[in-house]
Amino acid sequence: MAMNEIAANMRLQKRLCHNAPFYVLGPIVTDIAPGYDHITSAIGGAIAAANGANFLCYVTPAEHLRLPDTDDVKEGIIAAKIAAHAADISRGIPGARDADNEMSLARHNLDWGKMFELAIDPDKAKRYYDSTPPSERHTCSMCGKMCAVRTTNMILEGKKVTFCSEK
Ligand code: SF4
């Protein structure tokens, strides 16, 4: 189902069913991504949930290809959780944004332990971080000493911004 058709369908379904709780599988928003249908369905699921769907059924990367294995199930569930969480935020569900606000603070503080703790998949987040350690303390290896967060913090603290190693 095209992304621009999901909201109208959800509203129609809710109206016809007298606002009964509604669950959706996907919908996948494009059909050319076998191996990635946890993503195509999460996009559709997020839009559906933002427009009234009450329950998302997860789709795994193995959809249309094979019986999913344990890793496929994990990826599918996480993708669906992300979609549901994003929709909760957009619907203004009380408390839905709390973890995101905490994550923003942890990012500002470059507090990696807290970021991993708050991550929806802490093991993957930590594994990625540890797999390519940063050369610059407190940053990550994406930008290293050019870290925008580090630079902003130094400016806010009135420090001179340098791109030399911080001791
Ligand atoms: S190094 Fe770049 S990607 Fe990593 S935390 Fe800093 S700004 Fe973000």
Handedness of CA 154, 159, 162, 165 (dihedral sign): negative
Range of the domain at 135: 98-156
Residues 6+ apart with CB under 8 A from 72: 38, 60, 61, 62
Q: Which atom of ligand 1 is nearest to the CA of 146?
A: 1
Domain count, the chain: 2
The pLDDT score that the predictor gives to residue 136 is 76
Question: At residue 76, what are phi and psi to the nearest 5 degrees?
Answer: -65, -45
Q: Specify which residues 57 forms β-bridges with.
A: 25
Q: Residues 42, 31: contact at Cβ < 8 Å?
A: no
- Within-domain flag for 165: no
Q: Which among 109, 89, 87 is positioned nearest to 100, based on CA atoms?
A: 89
The pLDDT score that the predictor gives to residue 164 is 60
Q: Residues 34, 71: contact at Cβ < 8 Å?
A: no
- Within-domain flag for 65: yes
From 110, 130, 135, 139, the mutation candidate for ligand 1 (largest count of ligand atoms within 8 A of CB) is 139
Q: Which amino acid is at 81?
A: K
- Within-domain flag for 13: yes
Q: Does residue 144 surpass a pLDDT of 80? A: yes
pLDDT in tens, 16-52: 999 999 999 999 999 999 999 999 999 999 999 999 9
Ligand 1 centre and the CA of 50: distance in Å?
30
Atom 6, ligand 1: residue with shortest CA distance: 147
Judgement on whether residues 32 and 81 belong to the same structural domain of the protein: yes
The percent of residues above 70 in pLDDT, for the chain, comes to 98
Task: Give pTM, 2 decimals.
Answer: 0.90
Judgement on whether residues 26 and 84 belong to the same structural domain of the protein: yes
Judgement on whether residues 82 and 128 belong to the same structural domain of the protein: no
Q: At 135, is the pLDDT very low, low, confident or very high (cuts 50, 70, 90)?
A: confident
Judgement on whether residues 9 and 43 belong to the same structural domain of the protein: yes
pLDDT in tens, 61-97: 999 999 999 999 999 999 999 999 999 999 999 999 9
Please give the average per-residue pLDDT across 110-131, as a whole number. 96
Q: Does residue 10 surpass a pLDDT of 60? A: yes
Judgement on whether residues 103 and 68 belong to the same structural domain of the protein: no
The pLDDT score that the predictor gives to residue 167 is 45
How far the first Cα of the chain sits from its last, in Å, is 54
Q: At 163, is the pLDDT very low, low, confident or very high (cuts 50, 70, 90)?
A: confident
Judgement on whether residues 112 and 139 belong to the same structural domain of the protein: yes
Q: Does residue 165 surpass a pLDDT of 90? A: no
Ligand 1 centre and the CA of 153: distance in Å?
12
The mean pLDDT value of the chain amounts to: 94
Q: How many CB atoms lie within 10 A of CB 65?
A: 12
Judgement on whether residues 83 and 102 belong to the same structural domain of the protein: no
